[in-house]
A and B are shown apart, each in its own frame.
Chain A
Amino acid sequence: MRWVWIALGAVFLAYPWVLAGPFYERMGALVLLAAISGSAWNLLGGYAGQASVGHAIFYGAGAYLPLLVFTQWGLPPIAGLPAGIAVSVLIALVIGIPTFRLLGHYFTMATVAVAELVRLVVSNWDLLGAAVGLSGPAVSRGWWDLSFRSSIPYYYIFLAVLAVVLLVTWQMERSRMGFYLRAIKAGDRAARSLGVPVRRYKLYALMLSAAFTSVAGSLYALMVGFVDPDSGLGILISIEMLIIAALGGAGTLFGPLLGAVILIPLQNATNSWFGGSGSGATYVIYGGIIMLIARYQPGGLMNAWHALQERRHRRAAAVEPRHAA
């Protein structure tokens, strides 16, 4: 495990030197940002198997609050980051407490409904810039505004945050919580019979996931310096997190990172091929990826890799005599 961390760290630290230039630097930052939000989604949707299609709410809360504290009180946007986390966790509780009482797909459906509701409310809320949105400082007033022309500072900030998210996920995966979430995903009735307080653990996962998603939203707002209902709360944002995690491997540590490394450059390429009309192509690509994953590899790429390795191990083990179960 350790060498995986070291190798990944080295690759991502070196990337801006290997592929220099504003285009690659910005794309690198966007990949890392998508990996952060995908990994955040993964905590709940991947490990606990509670697929949310409304994580844009938390992303949006994270994106809006930094720009709100700037437009309202002239504070540096970063000051809004903790507030975004607080608001996200609060919303997570409001959604999670009633819906986790229900089994099955109610949670997923509730997240879609609440996310669209929030988008509509924000689109008409003058304090949050309504349909026009909010902007950050046009000219940086100092380093504390975290407003840079180059993408490189953002790249390294995002890399540090991603490292924290992955380390927390890794620790969680190995702890009681990780085992409990996987058990809940595999069958919550059996999990309860073993003493797992299912609802409480789903709620923990949702809160943690919401908090990290909110951080991703804040980082986005810091880099772009602008947010409107579509870029902060659109349903595509939720779907993108889901696809990135599912493509790379939901419920695996590095799955979302892998998904982001594939999806974001692909998205960039289609946007440049199709130009201004490219936003429609994004939906087509997402749809295609969902179909491919569902048909061929529901576990995503990481799980395909694990399955392949397992088959090799089993073939090697088959040579030895086997005992009846």
Chain B
Amino acid sequence: MLLEARQVTKSFGAFTAVADVDLGVAAGEMIGLIGPNGAGKSTFFNCLTGDYAPSAGTIRFDDHDVTNAPPERHARLGIGRTYQVPATFEDMTVLENVMVGAFLRHPHRGEARDAALAVIELTEMTEQRHLRARTLGTPGRKRLEIARAMATQPRLLLLDEALAGLTPAEIQRAMDLVRKIHATGVTLVIVEHIMEVILTLAERIVVFNQGKVIAQGKPDDVVRNEQVIEAYLGRRKAHRR
């Protein structure tokens, strides 16, 4: 297992956002984490990236215990991430944003620049490379976040709602990019609440509801799961089927 989370729990005061979640991710997989709003998938996601320290449980990545490690250590070990609301460096250009990521493995400016340009090419942002991040729209900024994370040369990339807020055409383009990245050998964990999209993209789906994993498996099996339908679409819809 590349990533292994065991009995991860995260509480905020009396509220338990994530309870006893187990998740194993093998190298080369593409996994979707889905669930209705407030299901705890983003909280769990942030435990995986080191943004939150779990209240209980352990997380191991590539034989390193990263349960309480800070985000920068996650990056160094090879975990990249994007944000639900893009957190691009607004006053810096696309190239400069990506170079910040590239400097992690290439301390020298020239090498970092070359590495960043290669990633920009991969993510099809070459034409925008000299634009400031603030001038890009939401799709561009989401793409830039992926590019920036890819520049750290991750083995595991965690995407937090990389497709939310995009038009169908933009979603198609973004999905092509995700597939392209997966084809380079990067393992992917994608949080998404647009089910249709993730079902066609991921090989395995993990469904969250009320802080717990209620189902997991192949997309086809997951959509037929009564519990999933109920959690997602409400009881009435589940009964109607």
- Which A residues are closer than 8 A to B by beta carbons? 174-176, 179-180, 182-183, 186-187, 189-198, 310, 314, 323-325
Contact = CB atoms under 8 A, between A and B. Distances in A.
29 contacts: A175-B109, A180-B100, A182-B92, A183-B89, A183-B92, A186-B89, A189-B51, A189-B71, A191-B100, A192-B71, A192-B72, A193-B49, A193-B74, A193-B75, A193-B80, A193-B81, A194-B100, A194-B104, A194-B148, A194-B152, A195-B76, A195-B101, A196-B72, A197-B72, A310-B132, A314-B135, A324-B139, A325-B128, A325-B143
Given A182-B89, A186-B91, A325 B136 contact: yes
Given A193-B80, A195-B152, 19 more contacts: A176-B107, A176-B108, A179-B100, A180-B103, A182-B91, A182-B96, A182-B100, A183-B100, A186-B88, A187-B89, A192-B71, A193-B51, A193-B74, A193-B81, A194-B104, A194-B151, A195-B101, A196-B72, A325-B128
Nearest to B105: A195
Contacts of A183: 89, 92, 100
Contacts, number: 81
B75 A186 contact: no
Contacts of A186: 88-92
A190 B152 contact: no
Contacts of B152: 194-195
B189 interface: no
B89 A176 contact: no
A190 B90 CA distance: 12
Q: Which of A180, A324, A325 has the most CB of B within 10 A?
A: A325
A195 B75 contact: yes
The 9 lowest CB-CB distance pairs between A and B, nearest first, are A325-B140, A195-B75, A186-B89, A190-B87, A195-B104, A192-B71, A176-B103, A183-B100, A194-B101
A179 B91 CA distance: 12
Interface of B: 49, 51, 70-72, 74-76, 80-81, 83, 87-92, 96, 99-101, 103-104, 107-109, 112, 127-128, 132, 135-137, 139-140, 143, 148-149, 151-152
Contacts of B51: 189, 193
B87 A195 contact: no
B127 A193 contact: no
Contacts of A174: 109
A324 B80 CA distance: 26
A193 B92 contact: no
A176 B101 CA distance: 10
Q: Which of B51, B103, B108, B143 has the most CB of A within 10 A?
A: B103
B70 A192 contact: yes
Nearest to B136: A325
A190 B109 contact: no
Contacts of A198: 72
